[in-house]
């Protein structure tokens, strides 16, 4: 499958294949063939009719079906018509039993559920890669010091292992939601005209259960034509997961800035360069993930707004869903795959991380001094002293501890030997390692 150029930055090739025209038509055909097969077994339709329907070839004219779907309001109507004509050309009597007892939305929803079932293991494989790579980073760099950053400004130090563990934990929580919502949403849709299967008499549930078994899908308590909550929960879970990956991508892209230079995405020929500036090493995986994180929330909102559907069959809600669901799942998959690639090949520069800590001249440890002084001077007085000392450190380009040694109110409380070690970052990590392990 070749990805369409317009979607080249919004999907992976395997996911593009899952949601391709031929894949969709194949899933719709799977539904119709399975329906005929189980109905024949239950003596609802003649067995020879089911055999003819089962032999109906693929190769439908997708562009023509798309044009007719626009007039019909659903792709199921022209699809069933085309399938019926194929069967009729082989056996006119068998053509009477195509789509027997089903309705358009049964075909559309079940076909899309089958596509989602194919998409799930693709997403899962990339999540496993991401989880493993982040676990390796968290362990390998558990003692690597770097600046904490709050509101994009230098803060007391952390470890890169802690940061990577935070990414890993968020991605894992997000994936647990996504996986559970996939499981919840992968259900057969089969209800007939009004969701009662009245046309099948007392065999409705038997046919439905057999059809679910044939397609290897769970059989719900009842059809869900106008109840889209399970799919909505899946879309929301994808939105949260993509947002978490977007946070990771934002962090990495900021750490890749030239003036920061603490990490770098993997590079290769044709990846990360610039058409104008040969020196550049751009954060491509981060860019793709951030684009997905920007795109998905609006799509999730669009799906949520389509949930308000009328009575037993909505006027427009489910017609809005196909492109929305496909775009959300593909964007989520691209974000997972992109971050897996970034994490697997991420280059870490511990020396640059330490240099960026040292470049603060120790002002990031002002909080520590405030805590030491607070019990004697009061926190408000200590905070004011350190605020002025930090301002002088920056203005005079001197280490904070050198300024502090000149302030009598401070040296009367803190011995000089203690004061001179206050900007040692290894002594100011708190319980970072415990948190890393817990994550």
* Mean pLDDT within 307-327: 89
Coil, strand or helix at 145: strand
Res 269: pLDDT? 53
Q: d(Cα 249, Cα 337) in Å, to the nearest integer?
A: 12
Query: CATH code at 252?
Result: 1.20.200.10
Task: Show the domain range for 413.
Answer: 363-422
- Give me the half-sphere count of Cα atoms (radius 13 Å) on the Cβ side of residue 390: 19
What does DSSP assign to residue 158?
A: E
Are 109 and 318 within 8 A, CB to CB? Answer: yes
Q: For residue range 207-248, list pLDDT tens digits in order.
A: 999 999 999 999 999 999 999 999 999 999 999 999 999 999
Residues 215 and 264 placed together within one structural domain of the fold: no
Residues 242 and 138 placed together within one structural domain of the fold: yes
Confidence of residue 42 (pLDDT cuts 50, 70, 90): very high
Res 279: pLDDT? 47
Query: CATH code at 81?
Result: 1.10.275.10
Q: Confirm whether 431 is domain-assigned.
A: no
* Mean pLDDT within 152-174: 97
Confidence of residue 280 (pLDDT cuts 50, 70, 90): very low
Determine what percent of the chain is predicted with pLDDT higher than 70: 97
Q: For residue range 237-270, list pLDDT tens digits in order.
A: 999 999 999 999 999 999 999 999 999 999 765 4
Q: For residue range 60-82, list pLDDT tens digits in order.
A: 889 998 999 989 888 999 999 99
Res 313: pLDDT? 87
Six-digit token string for 176: 């647990």
Q: For residue range 331-368, list pLDDT tens digits in order.
A: 999 999 999 999 999 999 999 999 999 999 999 998 88
> Is the predicted pLDDT of residue 274 greater than 60, yes or no?
no
> Is the predicted pLDDT of residue 129 greater than 80, yes or no?
yes
Res 243: pLDDT? 98
Res 276: pLDDT? 42
Q: Within 10 Å of residue 182's Cβ, how many Cβ atoms?
A: 21
Q: Confirm whether 110 is domain-assigned.
A: yes
> Is the predicted pLDDT of residue 275 greater than 60, yes or no?
no
Confidence of residue 282 (pLDDT cuts 50, 70, 90): confident
Residues 43 and 88 placed together within one structural domain of the fold: yes
Tell which wins on pLDDT, 165 or 385. 165
Res 223: pLDDT? 96
Report the DSSP pairing between strands 153-159 and 347-348: unpaired
Residues 275 and 170 placed together within one structural domain of the fold: yes
Query: CATH code at 402?
Result: 1.10.40.30
Q: d(Cα 318, Cα 231) in Å, to the nearest integer?
A: 11
Are 322 and 237 within 8 A, CB to CB? Answer: no
Res 268: pLDDT? 61
Mean pLDDT of the chain: 93
Res 297: pLDDT? 97
Res 422: pLDDT? 86
Res 57: pLDDT? 74
Six-digit token string for 192: 């007939």
Residues 332 and 305 placed together within one structural domain of the fold: yes
Res 373: pLDDT? 86
Residues 339 and 231 placed together within one structural domain of the fold: yes
Residues 51 and 195 placed together within one structural domain of the fold: yes
Q: Within 10 Å of residue 355's Cβ, how many Cβ atoms?
A: 12
Choice among 149, 313, 352, 420 that is catalytic: 313
Res 178: pLDDT? 98
Res 73: pLDDT? 87
Determine what percent of the chain is predicted with pLDDT higher than 90: 79
Q: Based on C-alpha coordinates, what's the Rg of the chain?
A: 30
Q: Give the end of a domain, one of 348, 373, 396.
A: 348
Res 1: pLDDT? 58
Q: d(Cα 288, Cα 249) in Å, to the nearest integer?
A: 9
Coil, strand or helix at 147: strand
Q: How many domains does the chain have?
A: 3
Residues 62 and 130 placed together within one structural domain of the fold: no
pTM metric for this prediction: 0.92
Q: Confirm whether 437 is domain-assigned.
A: no
Q: Confirm whether 354 is domain-assigned.
A: no
Residues 319 and 261 placed together within one structural domain of the fold: yes
313 is catalytic: yes
Residues 36 and 1 placed together within one structural domain of the fold: yes
Q: Confirm whether 436 is domain-assigned.
A: no
Q: Confirm whether 414 is domain-assigned.
A: yes
Res 271: pLDDT? 56
Place of tokens 């994180």: 293
Residues 25 and 172 placed together within one structural domain of the fold: no
Choice among 180, 274, 305, 316 that is catalytic: 274
> Is the predicted pLDDT of residue 278 greater than 70, yes or no?
no
180 is catalytic: no
């Amino acid at each position: 499958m070749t990805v369409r150029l317009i979607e080249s930055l919004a999907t992976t090739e395997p996911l593009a294949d899952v949601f391709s025209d031929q894949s969709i038509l194949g899933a719709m055909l799977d539904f119709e063939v399975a329906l005929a097969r189980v109905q024949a077994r239950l003596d609802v339709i003649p067995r020879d009719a089911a055999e003819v329907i089962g032999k109906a070839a693929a190769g439908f004219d997708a562009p023509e079906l798309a044009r007719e779907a626009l007039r019909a309001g659903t792709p199921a109507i022209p699809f069933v018509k085309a399938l019926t004509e194929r069967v009729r050309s082989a056996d006119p009597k068998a053509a009477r039993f195509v789509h027997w007892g089903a309705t358009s939305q049964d075909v559309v929803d079940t076909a899309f559920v089958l596509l989602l079932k194919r998409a799930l293991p693709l997403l899962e494989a990339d999540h496993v890669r991401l989880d493993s790579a982040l676990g390796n980073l968290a362990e390998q760099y558990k003692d690597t010091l770097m600046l904490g950053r709050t509101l994009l400004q230098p803060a007391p130090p952390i470890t890169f292992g802690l940061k990577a563990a935070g990414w890993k934990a968020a991605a894992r929580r997000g994936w647990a939601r996504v996986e559970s919502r996939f499981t919840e949403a992968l259900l057969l849709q089969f209800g007939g005209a009004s969701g009662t299967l009245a046309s099948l008499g007392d065999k409705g549930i038997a046919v439905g259960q057999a059809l679910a078994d044939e397609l290897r899908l769970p059989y719900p308590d009842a059809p869900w034509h106008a109840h889209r909550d399970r799919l909505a929960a899946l879309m929301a879970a994808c939105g949260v997961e993509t947002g978490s990956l977007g946070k990771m991508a934002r962090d990495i892209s900021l750490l890749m800035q030239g003036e920061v230079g603490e990490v770098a995405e993997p590079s290769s020929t044709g990846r990360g360069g610039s058409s104008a500036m040969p020196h550049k090493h751009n954060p491509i995986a981060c860019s793709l993930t951030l684009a997905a994180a920007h795109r998905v929330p609006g799509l999730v909102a669009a799906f949520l707004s389509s949930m308000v559907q009328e009575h037993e069959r909505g006027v427009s809600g489910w017609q809005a869903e196909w492109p929305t669901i496909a775009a959300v799942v593909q964007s989520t998959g691209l974000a997972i795959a992109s971050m897996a690639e970034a994490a697997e090949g991420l280059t870490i520069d511990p020396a640059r991380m330490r240099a960026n800590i040292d470049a603060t001249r120790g002002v990031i440890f002002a909080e520590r001094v405030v805590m030491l002084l607070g019990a004697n001077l009061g926190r408000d007085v200590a905070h004011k002293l350190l605020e002025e000392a930090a301002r002088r450190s920056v203005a005079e380009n001197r280490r904070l501890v050198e300024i502090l040694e000149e302030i009598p109110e401070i040296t009367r409380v803190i011995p000089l030997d203690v004061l001179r070690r206050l900007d040692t970052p290894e002594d100011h990590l708190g319980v970072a390692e415990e948190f890393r392990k817990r994550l």
